[in-house]
Structure 1
């Protein structure tokens, strides 16, 4: 165990240097939507992003396996030295957040599920909330529990949309193919006498499909972007512990496999990085 890891585990949040970066991890590039939102809200923060490309997708795996992968990803980032951890994967947030928090009691840990649930509870007009997510997230019922804690009487319907991840990873974010798949998964939930009035994009890949999903749901339906909700929650969490003004921030990318492909995809999703940004290859 490194000195940085001992520091993070055994001391309080206030003892962690404010100049340490914020750690972020996801199973792939989807979590870059969270990184981008954080970058916009907190431009002076340094961000350390890990994409566990070698073991994606997390959404189809068992809770036990996802928890093991998530804790390993957290351990890797803690060893680098971080002041807070954002679990930018809805599946890992749904099943592994408690295990990560127990492993690192001195480290603030924030998951996208709690942030998204908070945003949905606030945004829904009638408490008719649809969550588009992965199989693992829906199976965990984490959104249902998190929203129920914040909104009495809310009706939450979580719909697995596994092909959305593949579409986003392939860069197919709009057009007739996306429209067709979206109608297949979600079309019936925005018709009838009790249609949804709020759609939670319950996977960090899904904001990339937002134009198509917004058209499907209709103008009366509020879309909740977990990336933006997570960014807002992190701003509140780090109040008084922000990086010094003028630090310049930055984003360092790490992938567990195929760094060249990861770099190309990251460049498309995060143009400020350049067409093919530098990516560190790591083995968890």
Structure 2
């Protein structure tokens, strides 16, 4: 199947998932759409998040994708089930894969989850973790300052170190042995988060397990590409293509990216 895989996110954070899909499935083409103009989704109402997620989804459906990955934890918590029921193509979120990854490595079953206000309020990770293992202890913490740090590109400096240390202070006495990065933006802060939490805490992001799920689903449904070349991925943003390209190039390790700014509306989309 030569159709591309669609990946949507509230901003650039979903690139952490897209990067892992590229690594595990190098011949699959990816269409990435980040809603940077309306990021972050965490403080928004569930109704808004669902509306925005459907707009992003419909844009990529118009590009004839064969699978949709909702690489935003807030959108996954709010809209995954509805979109999955409505679409005929496979739809995958990032919360369940993240929960599986954490349960694979925890030893004392005391797991922390950091995420946006929307994700933490939904208790989506707690529900997912306890659906697999009912005895797990889950400590959730909203980190509303993290996404703006990443979206601004200020995720590796003294300001980021101070914000992360101050935000995570309440988790350092919880006897956690595993911490889930419950937002796909947070892996860009992973090195600082690891230093703050200490060597005894394993830090988990959902990208690797999500990519593994993508591979399994495509194989099972006979949708894997027959292409033997490395494709040129396409990147769309609702905000500044220049800022998106700068951060994405740095994170993905690629100098030239095909980035276009698009206007997302209720029923129509247009290139700016």
SS in 1 for 2:245: helix
Q: Give the deviation of 1:185 after TM superposition.
A: 1.9
Partner of 1:87: 70
Over 3 Å counting, the alpha-carbon distance change for 1:257 and 1:174 in structure 2 is closer
Partner of 1:58: 41
Q: Give the deviation of 1:230 after TM superposition.
A: 1.1
Partner of 2:257: 277
Alpha-carbon contact 2:236-2:259 (below 8 Å) kept: yes
CA RMSD of aligned residues (A): 1.4
Q: Give the deviation of 1:201 after TM superposition.
A: 0.8
**Equivalent of residue 54 in structure 2, options 71, 74, 78:** 71
Alpha-carbon contact 2:2-2:227 (below 8 Å) kept: no
Partner of 1:15: none
- Distance in 1 (CA, whole Å) between partners of 2:202 and 2:138 is 14
Summarize the alignment of residues 132-171 of structure 1 with structure 2, pairs less than 5 Å apart: 132-171=114-153
**Equivalent of residue 29 in structure 1, options 3, 7, 12:** 12
Q: Deviations over 1:49-94 (max 9, x none)?
A: 0011222111110011101110111111111101110001010001
SS in 2 for 1:157: strand
SS in 2 for 1:187: helix
Q: Give the deviation of 1:25 after TM superposition.
A: 0.5
- Mark the runs of 5 or more structure 1 residues left unpaired by the alignment: 1-17
Q: Deviations over 1:84-140 (max 9, x none)?
A: 100010100011101211221x11000011111111122211111111100010111
Q: Deviations over 1:3-32 (max 9, x none)?
A: xxxxxxxxxxxxxxx110000000111111
Alpha-carbon contact 2:233-2:258 (below 8 Å) kept: no
Alpha-carbon contact 1:127-1:151 (below 8 Å) kept: no
TM-score (norm 2): 0.92
SS in 2 for 1:80: coil
Alpha-carbon contact 2:94-2:207 (below 8 Å) kept: yes
Summarize the alignment of residues 195-274 of structure 1 with structure 2, pairs less than 5 Å apart: 195-239=175-219, 240-272=222-254, 274=255
TM-score (norm 1): 0.88
Q: Does 1:19 align with 2:7?
A: no
- Mark the runs of 5 or more structure 2 residues left unpaired by the alignment: 265-272
